[in-house]
Amino acid sequence: MRIFTLSALFALLSAAGASAQVSYGGQPTKWNNKNQNDFGVRYYKTPAIDLQALAAEDAVTDQYKETPYRFGVEHTVSLDFFTHADTETDKYGNTIYRMGLHCPGAVNMSLLFDQFYLPKSSKLFVYTADRTDFIGSFDHRTNNESGIMPMSLLYADRIVVEFQKAATCTDAAVLNIAQIVHGYRPVVNKWEGPQTENDRGPYGTSGPCNINVNCPQGDLWQTEKRAVALILSGGSAQCTGALVNNTANDGTPYFLTANHCLGNPTNWVFVFNHETAGCTGNTGPTNQTVSGSSLKANNAGSDFALLELNQTPPANYNVHYAGWDNTDALSVTSAVGIHHPAGDLKKICFENNSPTKTTQGGAAVWYINQWESGVTEGGSSGSPLFDQNHRIIGQLYGGFAACSGNVNNGQADWYGRFGISWNGNSAATRLKDWLDPGNTGATIINGFPSAITAANDASIGNIANVPASICGASITPSVTVTNQGSATLTSGTINYTLNGIAGTPIPWTGNLAQFASQVVVLPTLTAANGSNTLIITFSNPNGVTDENTGNNSTQVTFNAVTIPTVNYVLNLTLDDYGTETTWTLKNSATQQTLYSGGPYEDDMDQTLVSQTFCLANGCYIFTILDEYGDGICCQYGNGSYTILDNTNASVGSGGNFTNSQSVNFCVTAIAVEEMALNSGLTLYPNPAGAYLNIEKTSAEAVIVRMLNPLGQEIQTERMAEGYGILRIDTRILSKGIYFVEITSATAKVVKKVVVE
């Protein structure tokens, strides 16, 4: 069995500069001054290490895949950054703190903060003393609940930690260094040492029978490979895992690996796209990392662990969220593993036969009798096993498979079964609560986006022209048809149901090459008042059965207001940190969310966002939230919000709050009878000066009552049948808001008037 120590892994980074970890721009001060002594940084020096003794230990342990690949010595420390740092103040009043760390003779260095909190208007960088490479900036968006932050590796024996605190920053940072890793040998270059080529492969630290994922054998797996990442912590490289999709298809960064890999995942660093560009390369990028994660669920019964990364991998990482099959069915005809053996570049292996079910060490597993091509090693544990449909069915538990020279040894491997991991006694011991958040009951889903390739495979999605809330009953939706199959798509059938009532099937014809799309407009549909669900499906691609039914249906739920309404408007002015701002508008009685917005982009101070609300009779609650807890005004930009009613008067405003602020208001919409009466009335000017004129063109006689804000009557007049103008003297009134109530025999209208 592949048994691992729980020393769990740390940061691995090539000289990729500021792009090395998820960062937020900028550079260290005096970055262009390459003299390492130009500002007299003091260095904390770690003890010397015994390279001869380490080499002797490695000569033994490197022969066994059961041991992690050690590249560094971990020094445990407790260093308060601000106690050890030197300070200076720049010409703008900003304070710069710097602390140096020195590991004599190190090939590379990294560190771990066990207390990490950065306030707004502050930045942190870590860089080599010769100013050739840096990581950062990190700011308050890097903070996480654990307070633990591992930093990626830099290739130097002296590094500097620099904290920049703006003059306007009043909050205190907390930074404590708990570990310094002295790297004494490289991680990603061609193996150097006493081993022979048969002991270590020509493409890095793994055996020579491994296959780089970008060799021709991996051509059909270029999408799935983007889900797989190497896990690192401390001075070791040990396990592998993969991002997994969920039924919401929302990109939540869930990460599947093995239970036996677990140490402290808050300290882990996840390295994506660590692979050679071709088939025979021996180096690859290590500059796309995410630091830290939290454990969501795990179970030794199938040896799985599900994590959520602390940050979503940025778009430029181009990651994939792998699909899965939880049926645990014996319909698997072949399997593929993608992994990082011994912390090496990404590899791929192939089982051309059907895996079978068994138990191993008390765990329910898939049994791989032997790999036809490629192999796994120590460090591969936790890596995904894909079925012939490119969906995850397990993660590597252990085995005896290994290289024997340039070929594999023909031994077996075991993978914990995804179908067993799906169910458990609680959310903490099973997958379904996390990967099926809507409790849809799905048993098979594709990756995000879909990676299945078949001859006849049409997908449907991206319903447009259906807002989350609409005024009126009519919608004219459109939907996107995409050819995911290798055969040209020329025909099919679109079916749809609105609230369970089926519409007339729509025959579709076209000429779509693989991955080409076409937008199809559906007939105009009539919605019901309240919540509506529209489901659209595509079937019979090219007149045959679709070979991949997992992407044939899409749906949208929306709210329609078909009764009389009025329009209210939200005017939201953003602050500097739009990513922290979200809001909702709910019906107070039902708590249904009718409208929502955010998060927005950062650095958009004073940008105006407007949203129109179409509201029927009833009461509503608007809530604005700030994730950081400092509102949207005034320290980090002059943000604010105002809600205007249908007369352009404010019903609520603000901006200076902490975590959230709410506005409650009620709406009196116009009934059908009121609309007829309203169409024959004009009030002007509004705001009123000396006089308010009420012009009536309707045939009915009306009673006009002037009311103060408390509803108390100030004046009552009667207007006869037919056309007429009533002039009300407003000079005797105080400035403010008043109401004019106009009543006929069949209806009543209330209009708001401002007296200036």
Catalytic center residues: 260, 303, 381
**Pair 71, 51: CB distance under 8 Å:** no
d(CA 126, CA 118): 14
Indicate the residue type of 527: A
Q: What is the DSSP annotation of 243-297?
A: EE--TT-S---EEEEEGGG-S-GGG-EEEE----SSSS--------EEE-EEEEE
Contact between residue 388 and residue 326 where contact means Cβ atoms under 8 Å apart: no
Distance CA 420, CA 160 (A): 48
Residues paired with 11 in a beta bridge: none
Tokens 């304070």: give the residue: 95
Cβ atoms within 10 Å, residue 181: 27
DSSP run (H or E) holding 138? strand 134-138
- Secondary structure (H, E, C), 468-533: CEEECCEECCEEEEEECCCCCEEEEEEEEEECCEECCCEEEEEEECCCCEEEEECCCEECCCEEEE
Q: Taking a C-beta distance cutoff of 8 angstroms, is the pair 188, 204 a contact?
A: yes
Cα separation of 376 and 396, whole Å?
9
CB 284 within 8 A of CB 228: no
CB atoms within 10 A of CB 604: 19
Rounded Cα distance between 106 and 71, Å, is 11
